[in-house]
Amino acid sequence: MEQKTFDPDGVGVATGSYFGLPFDPETAALVLISAPWDVTVSYGAGTACGPDAIIEASTQLDFYEPLAPDFWRRGIATADVDYTLQEQSQRLRSDAERVIDHLEGGGTLEEDGVVRRLRRVNEGCRAMNANIEAQAAHWLERGRIVGLVGGDHSTPYGLLRALGRRHASFGILHVDAHRDLRRAYEGFEYSHASIMYNVLRDVPQVNRLVQVAVRDFSAREAALAASDERIVSFEDLELAGGRFRGETWEAQCRRIVGTLPDDVYVSFDIDGLSFDNCPHTGTPVCGGLSFNEAVWLLRTLVDSGRRIIGFDVVEVCPAPGERLDAITGARILWKLCSLTLKSQDSSNR
């Protein structure tokens, strides 16, 4: 392995791995798996290209990390990207687009051609979930921590299933503009807009879902959030309002973290940030967290002694000639990797 010759102070070299790091998944503490997939995206496809764009942007990053100095040295490895997922995503995307166009034209889900297309999409999404679950289980069985880079927000379902098989219980810190609590959005059973509904239904080990910066959701989603005891909401405007009245973000972060159990999965939808950080994401929404606010929240989580048992960064949508989205994704990914490794350290607890 090239690890011995790797110079963290040198020029970032494109090696096809996240951050250009030379670690072998067989020995690294943390393995990143990729899900180049965006079949059910409602508006503005392209997150299937997220992993490649983040890999490229991440080689520009320097390795000094004040919040978790040198923890990257425990190893952040890149599992081989399964590009058959991206090919399948492209094939199913046209089926999904026809369904969405049909619905937007006032059609129903019951018509013949639509039923067939929906079935193909739903079967394809189930196969993607199985693929990601198998990849995640493979590395978890070897004692690795697993992070996932999407793709749209449907993609971490398999990782969460795999974690459910290995942990008695855990919470999810969910940073997102959306609640993703829709049941079968647009007929798609495994839609990006349904991820948390599906996880709460299918992964009983998840005993807490803490939604932060949510600001665009349906009345039914709000009602579900209010009635399900596992769900705690920190709506974007409420958080902003608290700060207008003088509550500090530091205090709000402590309040948010205080609702989580000891073991936490972080699901980071890039659209939880303000859209200047992610102008091309599928469904950008006004408001949201600044980059530093998000990092402070993650820092507060780890400083509280809680352990990050896995994470995802999703909905990063690169656009031609526009690197900002991928740069933000790479920076959030780096903070999550470093802080996750720190949170595993016994001296942190």
- Kindly list the distances between the CA atom of residue 160 and the CA atoms of 26, 67, 130, 163, 183, in Å, as whole numbers in the listed order: 21, 26, 11, 5, 18
Which of residues 20 and 329 has its CB atom nearest to Mn ion in the complex? 329
Structure tokens at 5: 């010759």
Looking at the DSSP bridge assignments, the partners of residue 146 are 31
**The one segment of 60-68, 175-183, 214-222, 280-288 that binds Mn ion by CB under 5 A:** 175-183
Nearer to Mn ion, 180 or 235 (CB): 180
Q: Under 8 Å CB-to-CB from 123, ≥6 apart: which residues?
A: none
Q: Is residue 180 near Mn ion by the rule CB under 5 A?
A: yes
How many residues touch Mn ion under the rule CB under 5 A: the total is 5
| 151 upstream amide cis, omega within 30 of 0 | yes
Comparing CA positions, the residue from 92, 97, 156 lying closest to residue 119 is 92
Structure tokens at 32: 């990143």
- From the CB of 293, what's the least distance to Mn ion, in Å? 18
Among 235, 269, 293, 312, binds Mn ion (CB under 5 A): 269
How would DSSP label each residue in 299-335?
HHHHHTT-EEEEEEEE----BTTB-HHHHHHHHHHHH
Q: Nearest 5°: phi and psi at 210?
A: -110, 110
76 vs 285 by CB, closer to Mn ion: 285
Among residues 56, 65, 82, 176, which is the contact residue for Mn ion, using CB under 5 A? 176
Nearer residue to Mn ion within complex by CB, 150 or 171: 150
Q: Which is nearer to Mn ion, 133 or 269 (CB)?
A: 269
**CA count, 13 A, side-chain hemisphere, 184:** 7
Q: Which of residues 93, 144, 153, 179 is near Mn ion by CB under 5 A?
A: 153
Q: Judge contact between 176 and 152, C-beta under 8 A.
A: no
Minimum CB separation of residue 321 from Mn ion in Å reads 26
Q: How far is the CB of 86 from Mn ion (least distance, A)?
A: 20
Min dist. Cβ of residue 253 to Mn ion (A): 21
Instruction: Please say which residue, 178 or 182, places its beta carbon nearer to Mn ion.
Output: 178
Task: Give the residue ranges of DSSP H helices in the chain.
Answer: 50-58, 83-104, 112-141, 157-164, 195-202, 219-227, 236-244, 249-258, 291-303, 324-344
Within 189-248, the residues that bind Mn ion by CB under 5 A are: none
Least spacing, CB of residue 222 vs Mn ion, in Å: 16
Least distance CB 271 / Mn ion (angstroms): 7
Stretch that binds Mn ion, among 20-28, 67-75, 147-155, 326-334 (CB under 5 A): 147-155
Q: Which stretch binds Mn ion (CB under 5 A): 9-17, 59-67, 152-160, 229-237?
A: 152-160
Nearer to Mn ion, 52 or 176 (CB): 176
Sites of contact with Mn ion (CB under 5 A)? 153, 176, 178, 180, 269
